[in-house]
Amino acid sequence: MEETEAQALERRRMVDSQLRSRDIMDRRVLAAMGQVPRHRFVRPVDQPQAYADAPLPIGHRQTISQPYIVALMTQLVEARPEDTVLEIGTGSGYQAAVLAALARRVISVERIPELAAQARRILAELGIMNVEIIEGDGTRGHAAEAPYAGIVVTAGAPRLPVALRDQLADGGRLVLPVGSRDGQMLERWTRRGGEVHRERIAPVAFVPLIGDQGWSEEAAGREGWSFGG
Ligand code: SAH
């Protein structure tokens, strides 16, 4: 499926007006955001809004994050061409596709099988071969291929899941939203030997990270959870 000229133009405008104009300066990140066809990761009905400065629903009460947030998390994780990066929360597969343009390999864990299957299908259609999508509880990470140079969690956690901290390589970067159901702080944790160091980046609002080291399903399902990201 070829994209229209209008879609390519909207994507260039998105990069200039939403990313470059803010604090996205990493040229590799700007190039990846300019390249990955975001409209393919949203529902057909939402395609006219695919390049808007906002999150969009992807079904199952989940969302694809605002482009700026995807770019910010990608910039913070500093993926290099030789890295294997772990993502928790595949959702639409868009963030995974952006990371795949920068890293050697991306492993992405998703708890909702239908979303995992849909993301796999779109990535295959786009010829993106270096993403592996795994179904399961990502709060436990994916020990089989640890440690990771980069970890990105795209759902809001009550606290840093210990399994993810333990699967971070020396010098590795872990980017995740931590806080309450209604709002979180985007944090970056960096490992230096046995120690991890935290930076607080910006307030954000993500859907809940549900699992063993996240929220319980009931806590996450309560009325008033703010959907955003
Ligand atoms: N990165 C996605 C957006 C993620 S929305 C994108 O680019 O579209 C958050 C996703 O995290 C949802 O799909 C949700 O089902 C998933 N999720 C929540 N808790 C999870 C867990 N413990 N393990 C894996 N996925 C989880």
Q: What is the pLDDT of residue 43?
A: 97
Two tokens, residue 83: 């890295």
Q: Which of 90, 123, 160 to mutate to test the pocket of ligand 1 (most atoms within 8 A of CB)?
A: 90
Q: What is the pLDDT of residue 229?
A: 46
Q: What is the pLDDT of residue 1?
A: 63
Q: What is the pLDDT of residue 224?
A: 46
3-class DSSP string for the chain: CCCCHHHHHHHHHHHHHHHHCCCCCCHHHHHHHHHCCHHHHCCHHHHHHCCCCCCEEEECCEEECCHHHHHHHHHHHCCCCCCEEEEECCCCCHHHHHHHCCCCEEEEEECCHHHHHHHHHHHHHCCCCCEEEEECCHHHCCHHHCCEEEEEECCEECCCCHHHHHCEEEEEEEEEEEECCCCEEEEEEEEECCEEEEEEEEEECCCECECCCCECHHHHHCCCCCCCC
Q: Of all atoms in ligand 1, which is nearest to the CA of residue 139? A: 22
Query: Beta 168-179 vs 131-135: how paired, if at all?
Result: unpaired
Q: What is the pLDDT of residue 32?
A: 98
- Cα–Cα distances in angstroms (integers) from residue 97 to residues 36, 93, 146, in the given order: 7, 6, 20
Q: What is the pLDDT of residue 222?
A: 63
pLDDT in tens, the chain (229 residues): 678 999 999 999 999 999 999 999 999 999 999 999 999 999 999 999 999 999 999 999 999 999 999 999 999 999 999 999 999 999 999 999 999 999 999 999 999 999 999 999 999 999 999 999 999 999 999 999 999 999 999 999 999 999 999 999 999 999 999 999 999 999 999 999 999 999 999 999 999 999 999 999 888 876 444 444 4
CB atoms inside a 10 Å sphere around CB 143: 10
Two tokens, residue 92: 């639409």
Architecture label for domain 53-223: 3-Layer(aba) Sandwich (3.40)
Domain extents for the chain?
A: 53-223
Q: What is the pLDDT of residue 116?
A: 98
What is the Cα 17 distance to its own chain's centre?
21
Q: What is the pLDDT of residue 225?
A: 47
**Cα(68) to centroid of ligand 1, in Å?**
17
pTM attached to this predicted model: 0.96
What is the Cα 1 distance to its own chain's centre?
24
Q: Of all atoms in ligand 1, which is nearest to the CA of residue 109? A: 24
List, by residue number, the catalytic residues: 65
Two tokens, residue 101: 């343009």
Q: Within 6 Å (CB) of ligand 1, which residues are found?
A: 62-65, 88-89, 91-92, 94-95, 109-112, 115, 137-139, 154-155, 207, 209-211, 214
